[in-house]
């Protein structure tokens, strides 16, 4: 069984005399910086001179300087700029890393695929909250935690894991539980998950279901509700109680039909496709492709991003969600007046 670490397993005093440089003030950056700061840790935010995030970080009361200056003052450098720009930012700050410092990540891509090769003498760790940054911040403010992953890639001080756990405590992850993994496992499972299931898989499942209904002559509105809107209700049940909660909650007809037909749709062919996707993650083919795509200014990304926006389901959804937002507000208003 996997070890899970909680508040009591983390020694916050590991960060008592440490300065943490948080590079980037986006989704994860703002959450880590503010949570650490509220936990009493000495935080300094590193942003480029013309950064659009500078005002926000300063308005939140944090010290802001350049990534190079922040890294030079810090004992722990938390790299929270987008994965695609991390190698360039790292090249700037590498000369500032001193023996015994920690390079800290929230995702393993650049270390695992050798885009960042840290020198000897420094610890390299990961604390990866399993949620968007805004939830990491909101949970912390509500005295709740966000589950996270811990990994140690390089332990030169002998304290790498202890310090990473203290960092996890500082951002609130040990309140919920921290699971130990490796940079390789975190990176490969994260990328496989977002491609095959979470982002790629689910978007294609929804669009294919929608198109099948519309092509058969059903109305786009009905197809949207059935294939997109209801997805959230089903996923909420799974989130709360697993597949069991979902099967328990739907009708017996839905359960029988789903159990007999689901594996006709997601058949062995899909499993083989998933294995192929996983191969490309494991052998580095996907990483190499994504790195060159960025070097070429993202031609494929730009085209696919636009095509997705132009899909008919997006237009139908926008129209319907507007109607239903109005309905939601009306209901809330009614509830409000009912209370009075
Ligand atoms: P964001 O895209 O939100 O980061 C944006 C921040 O990075 C901004 O402050 C931006 O400032 C700064 N930035 C962008 N380009 C540069 C640059 N060239 N030099 C200096 N600063 C720059 O990143 P995320 O928070 O999404 O991701 C950070 C890390 O966290 C990644 O490793 C990611 O994989 C990981 N992660 C993300 C999760 C998420 O839900 N978002 C979940 C778990 C892990 P500017 O105004 O200067 O552009
Ligand atoms: Mg990811
Ligand atoms: Mg139904």
Taking the CA of 251 as reference, the closest ligand is 3
CA of 286 to the centre of ligand 2 (A): 13
Q: Is 13 annotated as a binding residue?
A: no
**Over the stretch 250-280, which tens digit does the pLDDT of each residue have?**
999 999 999 999 999 999 999 999 999 999 9
What amino acid positions are annotated as catalytic residues? 107
Which of 181, 211, 244 terminates a domain? The answer is 181
pLDDT bucket at 297, cuts 50 / 70 / 90? very high
Spell out the residues 6+ positions from residue 330 whose beta carbon is closer than 8 angstroms to its own. none
Q: Is 230 annotated as a binding residue?
A: yes
CATH number, residue 28: 3.40.50.720
Same domain, 69 and 176: yes
If one residue of 21, 23, 27, 187 were mutated to test the ligand 1 pocket, choosing by the most ligand atoms within 8 A of its CB, it would be 27
**Over the stretch 136-186, which tens digit does the pLDDT of each residue have?**
999 999 999 999 999 999 999 999 999 999 999 999 999 999 999 999 999
Tell whether ligand 1 has an atom less than 6 A from the beta carbon of residue 24.
yes
Same domain, 26 and 174: yes
Q: Is residue 340 part of a domain?
A: no
Residue 59 and residue 69: Cα distance in Å, rounded? 20
| 100, 76 contact by CB (below 8 A) | no
Q: Is 219 annotated as a binding residue?
A: no
Name the pTM for this structure.
Answer: 0.92
Same domain, 24 and 160: yes
| 45, 64 contact by CB (below 8 A) | yes
Residue 104 and residue 113: Cα distance in Å, rounded? 16
Q: How many domains does the chain fold into?
A: 2
> Which of 81, 83, 151, 93 has the alpha carbon at shortest distance from 118?
93
Same domain, 68 and 213: no
Q: Is residue 281 part of a domain?
A: no
If one residue of 22, 25, 26, 153 were mutated to test the ligand 1 pocket, choosing by the most ligand atoms within 8 A of its CB, it would be 26
Same domain, 107 and 252: no
Same domain, 155 and 213: no
For helices 268-282 and 285-295, the axis angle rounded to 10 degrees is 70
Same domain, 151 and 216: no
Tell whether ligand 1 has an atom less than 6 A from the beta carbon of residue 194.
no
Alpha helices (H) in the chain, listed in sequence order: 27-38, 54-59, 67-73, 86-93, 109-112, 133-141, 160-170, 173-176, 183-192, 200-215, 220-224, 230-249, 252-265, 268-282, 285-295, 299-309, 312-339
What domain range is 229 assigned to? Answer: 199-266+297-334
Q: Is residue 194 part of a domain?
A: no
Which of 123, 154, 181 terminates a domain? The answer is 181
Same domain, 23 and 133: yes
Q: Is residue 83 part of a domain?
A: yes
Whole-Å CA distances, 285 to 37, 188, 207, 276, 277: 39, 12, 27, 11, 10
Whole-Å CA distances, 305 to 109, 189, 302, 309: 22, 23, 5, 7
CA of 232 to the centre of ligand 3 (A): 13
**Three-class secondary structure of residue 102 per DSSP:** strand
pLDDT bucket at 338, cuts 50 / 70 / 90? very low
Q: How much is the pLDDT for 249? A: 98
Q: How many CB atoms lie within 10 A of CB 44?
A: 21
Same domain, 302 and 166: no
Q: Is residue 271 part of a domain?
A: no
ipTM: 0.97
Same domain, 247 and 150: no
In percent, how much of the chain has pLDDT > 90? 94
């Amino acid at each position: 069984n996997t070890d899970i670490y909680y508040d009591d397993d983390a020694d916050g005093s590991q960060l008592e005399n440490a300065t943490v440089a948080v590079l980037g003030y986006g989704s994860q950056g703002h959450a880590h910086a503010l949570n650490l700061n509220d936990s009493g840790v000495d935080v300094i935010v590193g942003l480029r001179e013309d950064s659009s995030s500078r005002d926000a970080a300063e308005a939140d009361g944090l010290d802001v300087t350049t990534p190079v200056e922040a890294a030079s003052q810090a004992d722990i450098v938390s790299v929270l700029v987008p994965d695609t720009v991390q190698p360039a930012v790292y090249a700037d700050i590498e000369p500032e890393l001193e023996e015994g410092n920690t390079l800290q990540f929230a995702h393993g891509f650049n270390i695992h695929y050798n885009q960042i090769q840290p020198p000897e003498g420094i610890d390299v760790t990961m604390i990866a909250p399993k949620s968007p940054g805004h939830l990491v911040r909101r949970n912390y403010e509500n005295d709740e935690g966000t589950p996270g992953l811990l990994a140690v890639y390089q332990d030169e001080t002998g304290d790498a894991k202890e310090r990473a756990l203290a960092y996890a405590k500082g951002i609130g992850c040990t309140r919920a539980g921290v699971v130990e993994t490796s940079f390789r496992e975190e990176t490969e499972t994260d990328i496989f998950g977002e491609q095959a299931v979470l982002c790629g898989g689910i978007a294609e499942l929804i669009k294919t279901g929608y198109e099948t209904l519309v092509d058969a002559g059903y109305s786009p509105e009905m197809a949207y509700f059935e294939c997109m809107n209801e997805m959230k209700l089903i996923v909420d049940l799974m989130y709360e109680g697993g597949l069991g909660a979902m099967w328990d909650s739907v009708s017996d007809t839905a359960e029988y039909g789903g159990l007999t037909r689901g594996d006709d749709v997601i058949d062995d062919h899909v499993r083989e496709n998933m294995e192929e996707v996983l191969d490309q993650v494991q052998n580095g083919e996907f990483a190499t492709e994504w790195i060159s795509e960025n070097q070429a200014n993202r031609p494929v990304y730009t085209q696919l991003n636009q095509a997705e926006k132009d899909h008919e389901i997006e237009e139908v959804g926008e129209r319907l969600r507007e109607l239903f937002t109005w309905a939601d507000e009306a209901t809330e208003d009614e509830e409000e007046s009912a209370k009075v």
